[in-house]
Amino acid sequence: MVRRSLLDTVLPWRWFGTEDNRMAYPHEEKASVTGPAISTGVLGQAVWTPRDYQHLADQAYVRNAVAYRCVKLIASACAAIPWILRDADGNEIEKHPLLDLLKKPGPMVGGASLFEAFFAYQVIEGNGYLEAVGPSDNAPPRELWAPRPDRMKVIAGPFGLPSGYEYQANGVFKRWQADPLTGRGPILHVKEFHPLNDWYGLGRMEPAAYGIDRHNAAGAHNKALLDNGARPSGALVFQPIKDPVTGAMQSAPPEVIEAARKKLDASHVGPSKAGKPLVFGGLVDWLEMGISPRDMDFAAGKDDAGRDICLAAGVPHILVIPGQSTYNNIREAKLELYEDTVLPLHDRSTDALNAWLCPMFGEGLSLEADLDGVSALEPRREAKRKSIVELYDKGLIDDREAREALQYGEREPEAVGKIDAAVLNALVVAVEKDPSLSVALFRYLHSVGLVDEGTTLDGLLSAAAEAATRAEQDQIDAATPPADPNAQDDINAED
């Protein structure tokens, strides 16, 4: 007797039939071997996120300027990259309902706003969701929405893929079903890699949490310094005085100390009163109790925490943290931001859209990033063009290969290519001296497009002879003076 596994008990299609039929169920052959092990214990249940997203988003995005700038840079750069839609043959499609949906995914929502939120959720939390809204499951969607990731829960499927998703907000629950074998459904889930979680991704703000805490603490410390006179606290010491009657040393009475404390708070605490001197009567001394901000170097520590945040987010720190930077450094830093952070994030999301959204509009459609529309990548395009031109000038590639590498397409049949005047003049002079070199001249004229594809050498020589005859006749006509019409009239009169 074959022992029944947990899946034999929970899957409805295995409740009936023989043991052989159940073991031969075709869906199991496509499933991952490790998928059932991942789903054991959470099958059919909502898998909760292992961290407090609201606290992380509040501390990182809402309260920290460096983390906010990093997330904003990445998300807005990804959302600004235009898409190109191609058919199964690779031809670009300029007008299509899918492109219209990406530009205007919903009422009062533009494509840039939607995808900026979609990419920002991935950077902060490691998970981005898109909801497709349409008239039916088989029709293309008419709207796209990006729900908050902390409100979305994955419903574990039997094969290691989600069988659905659950959304909860303000006591309202919503569930969507997904194919347990392919994961397809009205919800797209794009996640970052997480080495310890099978269902959710790892956001970039979580590894940067220590840097964010240090940066926020430094800011809170500086704020406290401003609130407390812009300096570390000290002690106002009343020296004992000698009683003139008894000769004994006496300390200041409590009411004098309390009055001094109130006067200190009223005249010295707060940013508007920083630097004002204290004036007290009697034998009073001020004893410094702490060290200055310069000694503790809070500014350097705050910048160091900011660099840690930028490092975790994948943003060059010179784009975020003020400092010594030149135009060329900023230009190179922007290129590094796109190549190391923005483009990989955009490519991963584009692949997910090709697998999830494009099939809803028909087979063979695919999206790709239009990198020529990104101004920050101009240095890379300049380097590519320079390299191709050098290869062409050295003769390592021909004109067709160079145009193909530069994505210019094939040259028109009647188009004229680059003409080297020195080479053409040398060939003409050589042919005048030695007519046998006309073959070389013909090949050069053909290569630059001065001669049509159907023209032969004999036809070219015949046309050249006719052109020479016409030119010679034109010279003769130009040298012959025109006849006098009056002279012709005199001849006719004599006759």
Structure tokens at 254: 């409590």
What are the pLDDT digits (tens) for 124-154?
Answer: 999 999 999 988 877 899 999 999 999 999 9
Quickly tell me which residue has 């031969």 as its tokens: 24
Give the helix/strand (H/E) hosting 349. helix 343-356
Estimate the crossing angle of helix 209-227 against helix 65-80, to 10 degrees: 130
Other beta carbons within 10 angstroms of residue 289's beta carbon come to 9
Residue 388 CA, distance from chain mean position:
27
Give the pLDDT confidence of 246-301 residue by residue, as tens digits.
777 777 778 877 887 787 777 766 555 555 555 555 566 655 555 555 545 667 77
pLDDT for 414? 57
Residue ranges of alpha helices (H) inside 24-87 are 26-30, 35-39, 53-57, 65-80
* Alpha helices for 357-437 (secondary structure H): 378-393, 399-405, 421-433
Confidence (pTM): 0.67
Separation between Cα atoms, residue 67 and residue 46, nearest integer Å: 30
Distance CA 74, CA 67 (A): 11
Q: How far apart are CA 343 and CA 301, in angstroms?
A: 31
* Helix%, strand%, coil% for the chain, nearest 5: 50, 15, 35
Report the C-alpha gap between 392 and 395 in whole angstroms: 5
Q: Please report the DSSP string for 212-269 in residue order.
A: HHHHHHHHHHHHHHHHTTTS--EEEEE--EE-TTT--EEPPPHHHHHHHHHHHHHHHS
Give 373's contacts (C-beta < 8 A, 6+ positions apart). 81, 82
In angstroms, the CA 329 to CA 281 distance is 58
Residues of the chain with pLDDT under 70: 1-51, 225-236, 268-298, 324-327, 411-420, 424, 446, 448-450, 452-454, 460-468, 470-472, 482-495
Q: Which residue reads 């004893």 in tokens?
A: 287
Give the pLDDT score at 38.
Answer: 53
